[in-house]
Chain A
């Protein structure tokens, strides 16, 4: 993974001191709350329903043992002993005091972490494939370019006060696990012969106007990437709407101009760049950053026999291995999903003790590499097959081995009205109630891959638009209702789900989901036909009928 050099370390340290000064000026009254707000937001500090919330950046979701252990310590020392992993692969602490935040940031800086630009109208944490560097289907590891983008976008002086927040996602794999189509800029790394370049998609997003990104350029050579991104950002900064925050994202600019005109403006701005304006990243720097992401020295021992024996002896392990492992490009290895979705839990939450356990497992068995997935789980990307049983035992003992990766109980759920001051409805209890209907692991496996995403308001932090089944909390005269949508997906066939009909009461949601699933089970041609494929084949009508049948 990337390691800070003296420059990176100094920038983060300077940031801690700058923010300490800003907090002191706020506490002394020199800064008005109105003036402080955008400053604290650019450092991930929100004022939530009950307390300040601190969001810490986990660039492209990568951690190691020392970092995760420090995240655990921060939760013990400054919060209530747990953290919440988010769909942007970050972590949030929900109960921190403003005064303690500069010290927490200082503790994080010691392990090369920060909260820079985790909120505010600026370029946010760059997200990526949680199996990057491990997946068999990637053309290259996308993390070096994520890191290059991270550095370029950190304290970019021109793009700190954009019309609205701005999110990048990068993938390099055939299967899109980074949801690039629903990002402000989505990048797919491709190769033409030996030449590396980027497909550049712009203007995707969720929220109240869900839109898929449009292809603006099908091959930007790697050496020109940052200059091309500057051109896009400048067009947006100058022309994005600022009169209405709900129309301020770049997706609205792309739609209002039309994709052709938007692309023309970007190309014109790009063509106008003088040679002295070019970033001209030295090849030595590109190589330096790539070198940090060299694969670990993989263990050559073939542990398959022991793995198979353990599966035969321990059905729970076999079941977990069937669901929570992902194929690895290196023989004798697998990527492990550490489920943060126990039945009846809060999606994405981990206690300090759980974080410490995962940190220890990574160090002991998994080349000290840990990821956060945008589906709010943790991942050990490189685990020798011979260690899988030991890893599972430790995870199981810590409540981290729920066998549900990408199954119906692996829900994406925003914090909702239990924490968030934007929410209209609670998300967590609805998610828990749905999970309970499908708690039986065997039943979940029979159903197969099915993504349910829940948001407590139209801002769509729970990605309901791209859930195979989406659930959106709405407020109707002070009462919580839930709107169901069908057919969304966040992968390489990205689609926005269509609303199925009138909203339901919270207590009716689990039954409604059950009827949708029953309908699927009765209509599918074989167990290999996934819910989303059956839906595509037969259309939404039978599901809508079932949804409202007994409600």
Chain B
């Protein structure tokens, strides 16, 4: 599935580790884990030589990740249905409340017409079967202005108007 980040299509080197795949894991394999498993194993994972990340489902509370955000390198936020908007709040919380600076990737039912909102909410990578790179780049530029402050750091209109 295409993975788009920073205006380019990149290779996905990450493996999502669900319960039964641990045996075959190579030591240098970058992995994401479900939140509950990650929290259980956080101590041992911190010592791993390969990159570690977490995959959130919509019910997850991202505040549980706060102690680990300095060293985890990827948070995947999953959208089981694109109409489920909880991932936008998770993203805003991770970026603005908890100060996460690593990669924030939208996975699952990720469509071209959601990517503008995702980008504003703090996502910087999109795994999507339903949009190619040119259309995603187009989607990111459909609006030149934004009324609200959000995780993307854009100057909102109410400040731009007053030059502050």
A residues neighboring B (CB under 8 Å): 5, 7-8, 10-11, 14-15, 17-18, 22, 35, 38-39, 121, 151-152, 154-163, 234, 237-238, 242, 272-274, 276-277, 279, 281-282, 284-285, 288
Contact = CB atoms under 8 A, between A and B. Distances in A.
26 contacts: A5-B161, A7-B157, A7-B160, A7-B161, A10-B145, A11-B144, A11-B145, A22-B113, A35-B130, A121-B85, A151-B158, A155-B146, A157-B88, A157-B121, A157-B146, A158-B121, A234-B89, A237-B88, A237-B89, A238-B86, A273-B97, A276-B96, A277-B96, A279-B148, A285-B159, A288-B161
Most A C-beta atoms less than 10 A away, residue of B84, B116, B145:
B145
A285 B88 CA distance: 27
Interface residues of B, number: 36
Contacts of A237: 85-86, 88-89
Most B C-beta atoms less than 10 A away, residue of A39, A237, A281:
A237
B130 to A, nearest CB: 8
A158 B88 contact: yes
B161 A162 contact: no
Interface string B119-162: 01100000000100000000000111111111000000111111
Nearest to B141: A14
Contacts of A121: 83, 85
B157 to A, nearest CB: 4
Nearest to A121: B83
A157 B160 contact: no
B117 interface: yes
B157 A39 contact: no
B82 interface: yes
Contact of B159 (A8, A276, A282): A282
Contacts of B49: none
B92 interface: yes
Interface of B: 58, 82-86, 88-89, 92, 96-97, 111, 113-114, 116-118, 120-121, 130, 142-150, 157-162, 164
A274 B161 contact: no
Nearest to A157: B120
Given A5-B161, A35-B111, A157-B117, A162 B144 contact: no
A161 B82 contact: yes
Nearest to A160: B117
B10 to A, nearest CB: 24
B82 to A, nearest CB: 7
Given A22-B113, A276-B96, A161 B146 contact: no
Contact of A18 (B86, B142, B160): B142
Contact of A155 (B88, B147, B162): B147
Contacts of B157: 7-8, 11, 151
Nearest to A158: B88
Nearest to B164: A282
Contact of A238 (B89, B116, B147, B158): B89
B148 A152 contact: yes
A157 B164 contact: no
Contact of B143 (A155, A159, A282): A155
B83 A161 contact: yes
Most B C-beta atoms less than 10 A away, residue of A5, A15, A161, A285:
A161
A284 B161 CA distance: 10
A274 B96 contact: yes
A242 B84 CA distance: 8
B92 A158 contact: yes
Contact of A14 (B85, B113, B143): B143
B158 A14 contact: no
B149 A279 contact: yes
Contacts of A272: 97
Contacts of B150: 157-158
